[in-house]
Amino acid sequence: MSAADLTLEKGLPANVEAERFLLGSILRNDSAFIQIAGTLTAEDFAIEKHRRIFARMSELFERGERIEHLTLVNELMKRGQLESVDGMSYLASLDEGLPEITHLESPIRLVKDKSTLRRLIFTAENLKQRCLLGEQEPDEILAGAEEELLRLGDSKSGDRLLGTVEIIDKFPGGINAFLDPSKRLKGISTGFAKLDEMTGGLHEGELFILAARPSMGKTAFALNIAQHVATHPKLRKTVAVFSLEMSAESLLTRMVCAQARVDQQRFRSGFLNQDERRRLAVALNDITEAPLYIDDTSGANLMDVHSKLRRLKNERGLDLVVIDYLQLMSGRGRNENRNQEVSQISRGLKLLAKELRVPMIVLSQLSRASETRQGDHKPILSDLRDSGSIEQDADLVAFIYREEVYKPDREDLRGLADLLLAKQRNGPIGRVPLVFLKECTKFENRAEDVDAAPYE
């Protein structure tokens, strides 16, 4: 007999006796329901009648009613399901002769494990059908499979709360680092001393929303950070940049000119002196040797980004992600409006940052509200475009503001810029003064911050 025939003969993984035992334990003592429902749902039961019985038990519990034979029979009758669960005789058999056991971890685990195996089989079958139909690109099918498997893994790992001792054991650096802030692992340096001082650097799992009106320099600022993290001799960390607006060649040109401090216009026109050519060659060599990866696929969605980042992390490692920019990403499925779609994307990016355990800098556009305000044009949180959930999902929200854009006649404002920290979950908000070199699209520390040591 073939392996396929054996599989069909054995049927799907299930432990019917463990399921009966759990349902019977609830009928014998309904306080057991809380312990079981903390890990299992109706869908975790293999047999349809067990799923229906557990679902009706859940409804009784939610209404604050006792879970007993009589109340359960009445609930099933109201739904017209009593016959489909083999009637009162089957319910009576569930706890007949059943010993009272306080700890149900073992049967709960048996049922959960079989449920996970069944879901893996369903996922594999769905994947097989998608491959046979051939209606999607292979990369899209692969990304969907990865996402589904990760969701199954999350449901397994997140089925219990952690005790305080476990939390401290898992804390980077152990109990000494937990009690002594000076020994805690710091985030990745951004290269901007004042920003590092206020944030402690970029931390794993955090979503950093960087927003500005067009031509304020948000792409330049994000690339300056990415370049610093990838090329600084004491860092040299792996960085992934997704550019949904500019080509990879344009980004590379920006980075090389910024590193070499060469006027981009002179570079494009070809009118360069010998010193500038030398500096460009050195800068290009630094960047090409750095662990910096660029993707310029337009209209990328969460699934694409997720798949590419997981592959990069497995093959080369991953320390920082930059996405330019949020409003150019597309969501999955049908959404009623753009706000809902952007909400889905921002939430997905936050979950992705947590899953991959890397900081994620995501650029965002601002609405025209700041332009129309009289007097002060500094952006505020309500100016974030398309969705209020961007503010909600972000761990840090910062705005780039250059007053010289609004007052071009003021010579004293030339080259001055501010990074306005409008939200930070774990630190202060405030202003980070910067210098902007427009010709080479590069932000730098102001003179008073130059000597401040960045976090390593």
* Average pLDDT by stretches of 10, the chain with 456 residues: 40 88 88 79 90 91 84 92 91 82 82 88 86 81 70 58 67 66 71 90 91 87 93 91 89 89 85 89 91 86 78 89 84 60 79 88 84 77 72 88 86 88 89 89 80 51
Residue 166 appears among annotated catalytic residues = no
Rounded Cα gap, residues 46 and 373, in angstroms: 60
The pLDDT, as a whole number, for residue 167 is: 67
Catalytic residue among 59, 140, 197, 245: 245
Q: Is 90 helix (H, G, I), strand (E, B) or coil?
A: helix
The pLDDT, as a whole number, for residue 105 is: 84
Q: Is 267 helix (H, G, I), strand (E, B) or coil?
A: helix
What phi and psi, each to the nearest 5 degrees, are found at residue 220?
A: -60, -45
Report whether 311 contacts 331 (CB < 8 A). Answer: no
Instruction: Kindly report the number of other CB atoms within 10 A of residue 455's CB atom.
Output: 17
Rounded Cα gap, residues 64 and 76, in angstroms: 17
The pLDDT, as a whole number, for residue 323 is: 93
**CATH fold of 183-449, please?**
Rossmann fold (3.40.50)
Distance of CA 323 to the CA centre of its chain: 12
Edge-first strand order for the sheet with 430-437 is 292-295, 239-243, 320-324, 360-365, 207-212, 396-401, 416-424, 430-437, 442-445
DSSP structure class, residue 45: -
Report the b/e string of 46-72 with b at 16+ CB within 10 A. beebbbbbbbbbeebbeeeeebeeebb
The pLDDT, as a whole number, for residue 278 is: 92
Report whether 347 contacts 353 (CB < 8 A). Answer: no
Return the bridge partners of 293, or none.
Answer: 240
Report whether 415 contacts 435 (CB < 8 A). Answer: yes
For 3-75, where are the E strands, in sequence order? none
Amino acid at 18: A
Q: Which of 184, 205, 187 is nearest to 196 (CA)?
A: 187
Residue ranges of domains in the chain: 1-154, 183-449
Rounded Cα gap, residues 434 and 430, in angstroms: 13
The pLDDT, as a whole number, for residue 293 is: 93
Amino acid at 254: R
Report whether 358 contacts 321 (CB < 8 A). Answer: yes
The pLDDT, as a whole number, for residue 362 is: 93
The pLDDT, as a whole number, for residue 178 is: 66
Rounded Cα gap, residues 115 and 54, in angstroms: 15
Rounded Cα gap, residues 76 and 73, in angstroms: 5
Q: Is 98 helix (H, G, I), strand (E, B) or coil?
A: coil
User: Which CATH number describes the domain made up of 1-154?
Assistant: 1.10.860.10
Report whether 29 contacts 67 (CB < 8 A). Answer: no
Angle, CA 259 vertex, CA 258 and CA 262 arms, to 5°: 55
Report whether 38 contacts 108 (CB < 8 A). Answer: no
Report whether 62 contacts 78 (CB < 8 A). Answer: no
The pLDDT, as a whole number, for residue 6 is: 38
Domains 1-154 and 183-449 equal at CATH topology level:
no
Report whether 451 contacts 439 (CB < 8 A). Answer: no
Which ranges in 377-440 belong to alpha helices (H)?
A: 389-393
The pLDDT, as a whole number, for residue 102 is: 63
Return the bridge partners of 330, or none.
Answer: 301
Rounded Cα gap, residues 285 and 298, in angstroms: 27
The pLDDT, as a whole number, for residue 208 is: 93
What phi and psi, each to the nearest 5 degrees, are found at residue 236?
A: 45, 55
DSSP structure class, residue 11: -
